Structures are given as structure tokens and as C-alpha cells.
Amino acid sequence: MTSKPGLADLTPEQRAALGSGADFWTTKAIGPVASVTMTDGPHGVRRQAGATDHLGLAESLPATCFPPAVGLAQSWDTELVRRVGAALGREARALGVDVLLGPGVNIKRDPRGGRNFEYYSEDPLLTGLLGAAWVTGLQSTGVGASLKHFAANNAEHDRMRSSSDVDPRPLREIYLRGFAHIVRTARPWTVMCSYNRINGVPAAQNRRLLTDVLRGEWGFDGAVVSDWGAVADRPAAVTAGLDLEMPGGSGVSDAQVMAAMAAGTLDPADVDRAARNVATLAARVAAGRARAHNVDTTDDHHRLAREVAARCVVLLRNDRGLLPLTPGRSLAVIGEFATQPRYQGGGSSHVNPTRLDVPLDEIRALAGSATVSYCRGFATDDTDADNDALRAEAVAAAANADVAVLFLGLAATQESEGFDREHLELPAEQLDLLDAVVRVRPDTVVVLAHGGVVRLGPVAASAPAILDGGLLGQAGGGALADVLFGVVNPSGRLAETVPVRLQDTPAYLNFPGENSHVRYGEGLYVGYRWYDSREMDVCYPFGHGLSYTTFDYSDLTLTASEAGITVRVGVTNTGSRRGREVVQVYTALPGSSVTRPARELKGVAVTAELEPGAREEISMLLRRDDLAYWETRVDRWIVEGGAYRVWAGASSRDLRVSGLVDVAGDELRIPITAESTLGEALADPRAAAALADVFGGMSESMGDASALGVDMMRMIASIPLNRLTGFGVDPQKLDALLAATGD
Ligand code: BGC
């Protein structure tokens, strides 16, 4: 057995036993291999000291609740996310946790997805950049990450059986791209395979994904861990590339592994590989533990959580410069969420926060001497509440104040891990309240809290100012106050399009599927790729977010090299307040030979905080790998040559400067076979030369093409070579052609 020192002394039973957990959160200590403790993740440490579960039910020890991924992604800031990862690592270490189960990097395919709050974006590049930063930060503290849920786990409906039926191009270009980037650049210690099936094959038994792609192509050198309860057939899973089944404790699947080896249906080498990978994980953990430094981080991390949360707030709209709030103006704060904030999602990621900022208190703390009244306005989970009376009280308060600040959103009961939403609507009583408040107090600011996208048309139609926090974690209350009063100038950007209506969304007709199959019929056209390619109206586009200042883009230069395209662009603060700008770079290849979205995000940079009038030159590399598409005819990535259009701007619909740059393409030679068409053969120089002979016979049987008055070549280009014999071509000449041009 080729194993780590010490592992060779283990019996086959012991090696098999290493491949399943000891209990809910830990692995077994066997021989030289120490036990590893894991826990959720990702936006806080859910360390359970008593009862254990994976649904967020039993208590956990207090830990800082940072903004969940839905909020964090709105920062678009890798450095900020790296700092969050490092802070999580310090807390995990202090709580005795070796592997934190995150980040969740599945693509938000449909806004109804129940776990969208745990995922970053509808875009794979942004997801990959942020996920890699999180893993790098976490692992810098000696705590391992678990990149999840691998793969194509984009809905909660029937989540333990459903097959995500997805074509190769979207699988590679949309659903795996972020995972690939994170594995390659941040090297997570573990990857967690998902519950679902992919094109019919359970993730845990998917050799193509767990072995060929993850290890073979991406060079993953860690342990593949199952999602909790994802393994139905452990011997098949071990063969496919699974190393560790979680949770564990029963010993049932260890016995199955032994039986399968005895029966000759499971190769002992695969069991050894799994044992080795678990041993490697334990060795990494041991080195990480040696770096433990237990200091009380509660205050520091709460401060960090506030700083981060403020950077995640998106200013969707700000008519008449209503925000930031002018000192001295009286405020009517309205809405249950102002006193009982909605700040994280439900399920396995649910954290017990060390403290919790109450937005109303934080607003009062910054309002100085201005009067701040409060009304509940509506009730979320109280069926006995009289919403009419609550509304009337709130309207009266708004009428008596200079500005109304209205907290709206989704209650915890309306969205969670474990189920998908059926619609995107805010509760009707909240929208009624908004209408009534704006009628008496036009200066109304809406503050939104929600894990999944909500339909904002009704809000945008009446509220002159809208702040969208998504979910902001335990310090969201303070962060929102900072943004409302201009202590922080908002720089958050939407990581997900807000559509006009559910019926416009790309997967509308293919979600959540039926009979345990969901067809990814929209293909590559996920999120803004769909809306922008179809030139559809959206409520707020991908990447949108305003600032209290303004920015100008100038002097775009594009330089192609072997590494990709270097983009340089000047960004100037043209307004009157300090602020930072998130610069987004999109590309397209006009006239591409393959189907492509109208534009795709290929680069992101955040400026420093710029003083009014200050300019920063941003320089970023659009990596050549990121320009590639997945060529299904040769099963590999190809950069198509040509003049790429490159835009820099402030959203996918707010493109400020653009240019063209020539990029040299990869060589792509499609093998010429009997099934190749005449057109394909003519496009291949070697085959085209050999075709001259073949054409002689064919033109006789086809008669005079010009007499048809059409481009004869276009008509016949689609004829496969092996059908040409029916048109008088000599089969022997055809065979000769194939022999001469085949690979
Ligand atoms: C979730 C994972 C989580 C695990 C452990 C599963 O139900 O899908 O995200 O890490 O439980 O709690």
C-alpha cells in the first residue's frame, strides 16, 4: 500500500473506518490519524456543545454572525471577504473547530432557490473570486474550508434525489467555473459533494466530477467529504472518489465497504486512497492547531462585522438626494424589522450571535438631538395582530416626522434551507403600508432585508430612496445606521439581477422540475446573461448600486498578452463626498462561432476610498482562462480568437467606456469523420484540399447550381460526408479523404 507513514500499519478494517465519521461532527481517531472536528459555516461558527443537528435546530455556542453570503457578495470586495474568512478562522480555532463547512458557492440559478442567501451570485466569476478570498482568509489561520455543495445544487426542492440535468457548456462555464477557480487558487482542504444527482448520477457517486474533473483537471489534493446524509451507497461512492462520509457513528457503511472489498466489487486501493486523504486532512489540522492563539475576539469581530456589513449595503435608489439623512430632521422609523432585525437565514448555517445590533437603537445613537419615533407598522408572524391598526398608527407617525424610514422584508419563516420559495413577493400588508406612508410623507426611505430576491417594482414605484442589505449579520443594524447618516458612503453592488417579475426569470419554466429531474433549459443564459441577451427590462440590473458621490470613467486601454487582457481605466470621484467605486469589466466576442451571452463579467476591482476630485488608475488582468468557452466537440476549454469588445462600467447595464482588442485564439481542430458535414470538411484546410476530387462526381448529379438562383454552397454545406455517396460520390474516394484527414 502506498500510504502516509504509519498508515501501512492499519488493518483493512481500520482503513475502511477512517472513511466515515465518528459522530455528527467529528472523524475517528485511528492509529496515527487524529480526529478532526468540523462544523457549519459559512458566515459564523455553529459549534454545538450539546445536541447536534444539521438543520439549525439545537443551540450552538455564541459566535460572531458575519453577513451571510447574500450580503457579503454585495461588497464585491475580495480583500474584505478575505478578512472575514480570517476572522472566522480565528473564532473556529478558539472554539476547537478544525474545518468550517463553507463557503457555499452554488450559482443562484433561480431567485426562488431556498438557499440563495447562502450563495454569492448568479455569476461564476464573482462567485469564484469571493469564494477563493474566503478560503484563503480562513485557511491562513490553520482552519480548513469545505467548498460546497459540489455540484449543480441550485434548488432545495427534492434536494436529496433531484437530478440537475445540465448540458456540458453551462455545467462548465456557469456551474463549475467558480469551483474550479477556488480549488486551483485557494486549495481548500476539503470539498463537500452535494445531495443531488448531476445528469442522473448522485454527486457522491460521480466519478467524472469527484475524480476526473476535481482531482484530474483541477489538481485537488484534499479530502472529498459528503454532505450530511448524502451517501446512499458508500462502496460506489468510494470508487467514484468520495473520501469521507458524514455524519458517522453507526459503522454500517464501514461494514459495507469491507463486504464490497471481500466480494471484489470495491478496489482496496480506493479505500486506501480515501484513508490517505483523511489522514492528510488530519495532518493539516494538527499543523493548524499548533497555531492556535486564544484571544477574546468578541469586540473586534463585532466591529469588523459592522464595517463589513456597511460595505455590503446597496443604495438602489436615491431621488432628490434624500440620503444621507440630513442632521436634525425628525424621523419616523417604521417596521418590525427595525426592532427585530432579520439578519441571517434558517437551516444549517444558523449562528448564535455574540450580540445583536438593533437598527432603531443604532439610528437613535446617530440621530443626535433629532426626534426619532417608532411604530411596528405590520406584523410578520402574529396572526392575531391588527395590521390595519398598525398601519394607521405608522401613517400618523410618518405624517408627524420629516422623514419616514421604513424597514421591509421577508420574515425568517418565509425562506430557509430545505424549501424553495414559490413567489418573489413582499407581503401585501407591507406594500399597503408603504403606499400609505409615502402618501403622507413623500420623503420615505425603504430599508430591505431578505435572503432571496424580492420583486421590487411596487417599492421602486413609490419610495424615493431604497437601501438593500440582503442579510447583514449581527452588526447590520449599526451598519445600516452608518449608511443612512452618511458615516459610510455605500459602495455595495447587486450580485444578482432584480427582475421585473418572476415570469421573466430564465428558469421560470424549468423550476423546480418534476419527478426528481430539473432541466437546466436556459443553458448558459443564467441571470444577467439572460436578461441582457434578450434585452429585457429589469427592475435593477446585475452590478447596480449607487453612491452618495459620482464617478467618471476614462482612458480605457486594453492590451492582450499570453496571460489574457490587461485593462487599465481611470476612475475619478466627480462628486462631493469620499467614496469607493466597484469597477466591473464585461466582455463579448462579436461574431463568435458559438452561442454566447451579450456580455459576461470577466474582471472586478474596487477603488480605494477616493476623495472628491481624486482619480485612481485601475489595472486588472482578465485571465485568458476566463475568456475560454467549453468546446463540446473536443471536450476542452478553447479561447476563440478575434476582436473582443471590452466594457468597464458600474453595472451590466451601465457601461461607461469600451474598446476592442485582438486576442489570439487557441488552435481548434475538429476531427473530420464520416459524420462531418461538407461545410465542416471545407473549413478544414487538409480536408478541403482533399475534397476537390470528391466534388467532381457530385456536381454532375446535382446539375447546375447557379440555375437555382440560391447560394448552392449554403444548401449543401449541411450534408454529412457519408451521405454524399447517394449523390454520386465514389465511396472509395470518400474513404481516401477520411484516411488522409483523420487524426
Ligand atoms: C447542509 C450542509 C451543511 C451540513 C452540516 C447539510 O444539510 O446541506 O450545507 O454543511 O448539513 O450541517
Q: 551-663: what CATH class?
A: mainly beta
Ranges of beta strands (E only) in 134-233 are 144-150, 163-165, 190-193, 197-198, 201-202, 223-226
Question: For ligand 1, atom 3, which residue shows the shortest CA distance?
Answer: 348
Q: Read off the pLDDT band of 691 (50, 70, 90).
A: confident
From the CB of residue 328, how many other CB atoms can be counted at a distance below 10 Å?
11
Which atom of ligand 1 sits closest to the CA of residue 53? 12
Q: What local confidence, expressed as pLDDT, does residue 696 receive?
A: 60
- In angstroms, the Cα distances linking 634 to 474, 671, 722 are 49, 9, 21
Q: What local confidence, expressed as pLDDT, does residue 3 receive?
A: 43
Residues 180/181/187/193 CA torsion (nearest 10 deg): -40
Prior bond to 247 cis, omega within 30? Answer: yes
Question: For ligand 1, atom 12, which residue shows the shortest CA distance?
Answer: 54
Which atom of ligand 1 sits closest to the CA of residue 348? 12
Ligand 1 pocket test, candidate residues 23, 43, 54, most atoms within 8 A of CB: 54
Q: Region 176-188: what's the mean pLDDT?
A: 98
The answer, yes or no, to whether any atom of ligand 1 lies below 6 A from the CB of 77, is no
Question: For ligand 1, atom 8, which residue shows the shortest CA distance?
Answer: 227
Please give the distance, rounded to the nearest whole angstrom, from the Cα atom of residue 306 to the centre of ligand 1: 26
The answer, yes or no, to whether any atom of ligand 1 lies below 6 A from the CB of 40, is yes
Domain boundaries, the chain: 30-38+75-290, 298-496, 551-663, 678-741
Question: For ligand 1, atom 9, which residue shows the shortest CA distance?
Answer: 348
Please give the distance, rounded to the nearest whole angstrom, from the Cα atom of residue 64 to the centre of ligand 1: 19
Gap between the Cα atoms of 489 and 50, Å rounded: 43
DSSP state of 82: H
Does residue 57 surpass a pLDDT of 90?
no
96 compared with 54, residue with greater pLDDT: 96
Q: Write phi, then psi, for 312 (nearest 5 degrees).
A: -100, -10
Grid coordinates in use for 205?
457517486
DSSP state of 175: I
What's the mean per-residue pLDDT of the chain?
94
Please give the distance, rounded to the nearest whole angstrom, from the Cα atom of residue 496 to the centre of ligand 1: 23
Cβ-contact 545, 497 below 8 angstroms: no
Ligand 1 pocket test, candidate residues 150, 228, 231, 245, most atoms within 8 A of CB: 228
Question: For ligand 1, atom 6, which residue shows the shortest CA distance?
Answer: 228
Please give the distance, rounded to the nearest whole angstrom, from the Cα atom of residue 54 to the centre of ligand 1: 6
Same fold, 30-38+75-290 and 298-496: no
Q: Read off the pLDDT band of 620 (50, 70, 90).
A: very high
Nearest partner of 75 among 139, 120, 42, 117, judged by Cα? 120
The answer, yes or no, to whether any atom of ligand 1 lies below 6 A from the CB of 101, is yes
The answer, yes or no, to whether any atom of ligand 1 lies below 6 A from the CB of 494, is no
From the CB of residue 611, how many other CB atoms can be counted at a distance below 10 Å?
11
Q: Read off the pLDDT band of 469 (50, 70, 90).
A: very high
The answer, yes or no, to whether any atom of ligand 1 lies below 6 A from the CB of 227, is yes
Please give the distance, rounded to the nearest whole angstrom, from the Cα atom of residue 59 to the centre of ligand 1: 16
DSSP-derived 3-state class of residue 615 = strand
Q: How many CA atoms lie within 13 A of 580 on its CB side?
A: 21
Q: Read off the pLDDT band of 1 (50, 70, 90).
A: very low
Q: What local confidence, expressed as pLDDT, does residue 704 receive?
A: 52
The answer, yes or no, to whether any atom of ligand 1 lies below 6 A from the CB of 640, is no
The answer, yes or no, to whether any atom of ligand 1 lies below 6 A from the CB of 118, is no
The answer, yes or no, to whether any atom of ligand 1 lies below 6 A from the CB of 54, is yes
Q: What local confidence, expressed as pLDDT, does residue 720 receive?
A: 93
Q: Read off the pLDDT band of 698 (50, 70, 90).
A: low
Ligand 1 pocket test, candidate residues 227, 246, 416, 417, most atoms within 8 A of CB: 227
DSSP state of 633: T
The answer, yes or no, to whether any atom of ligand 1 lies below 6 A from the CB of 228, is yes
Report the DSSP pairing between strands 223-226 and 190-193.
Answer: parallel
Q: Region 369-393: what's the mean pLDDT?
A: 94
Gap between the Cα atoms of 506 and 527, Å rounded: 7
Q: Read off the pLDDT band of 740 (50, 70, 90).
A: confident
Annotation: CATH topology of 298-496: Rossmann fold (3.40.50)
Cβ-contact 58, 115 below 8 angstroms: no
Prior bond to 149 cis, omega within 30? Answer: yes
Nearest partner of 533 among 599, 595, 603, judged by Cα? 599
Which atom of ligand 1 sits closest to the CA of residue 104? 9
Q: Region 328-352: what's the mean pLDDT?
A: 95
Q: What local confidence, expressed as pLDDT, does residue 683 receive?
A: 86
Does residue 2 surpass a pLDDT of 50?
no
Which atom of ligand 1 sits closest to the CA of residue 102? 10
Q: Give all strands of the β-sheet with 564-573 in edge-to-edge order.
A: 551-561, 564-573, 615-623
* DSSP labels, 697-733: HHHHHH--GGGGTS-HHHHHTTSBGGGGGGGT--HHH
Ranges of beta strands (E only) in 179-285 are 190-193, 197-198, 201-202, 223-226
Q: How many CA atoms lie within 13 A of 440 on its CB side?
A: 18
Cβ-contact 62, 353 below 8 angstroms: yes
Q: What local confidence, expressed as pLDDT, does residue 157 receive?
A: 94
499 compared with 709, residue with greater pLDDT: 499
Please give the distance, rounded to the nearest whole angstrom, from the Cα atom of residue 101 to the centre of ligand 1: 8
CATH superfamily for domain 30-38+75-290: Glycoside hydrolase, family 3, N-terminal domain (3.20.20.300)
pLDDT in tens, 420-447: 999 999 999 999 999 999 999 999 999 9
Does residue 709 surpass a pLDDT of 70?
no
Query: What percent of the chain stands above pLDDT 90?
Result: 86
Q: Is the four-CA dihedral 464, 470, 471, 474 of positive or negative sign?
A: negative
Active site residues: 227
Q: Which amino acid is at 664?
A: A
**Residue spans of alpha helices (H) in 45-113:** 69-72, 78-94
Please give the distance, rounded to the nearest whole angstrom, from the Cα atom of residue 227 to the centre of ligand 1: 6
Q: Is the four-CA dihedral 264, 266, 270, 275 of positive or negative sign?
A: negative
Cβ-contact 43, 351 below 8 angstroms: yes
Site of grid cell 476623495: 611
The answer, yes or no, to whether any atom of ligand 1 lies below 6 A from the CB of 148, is yes
Please give the distance, rounded to the nearest whole angstrom, from the Cα atom of residue 52 to the centre of ligand 1: 12
Does residue 708 surpass a pLDDT of 60?
no
Please give the distance, rounded to the nearest whole angstrom, from the Cα atom of residue 169 to the centre of ligand 1: 28
The answer, yes or no, to whether any atom of ligand 1 lies below 6 A from the CB of 45, is no
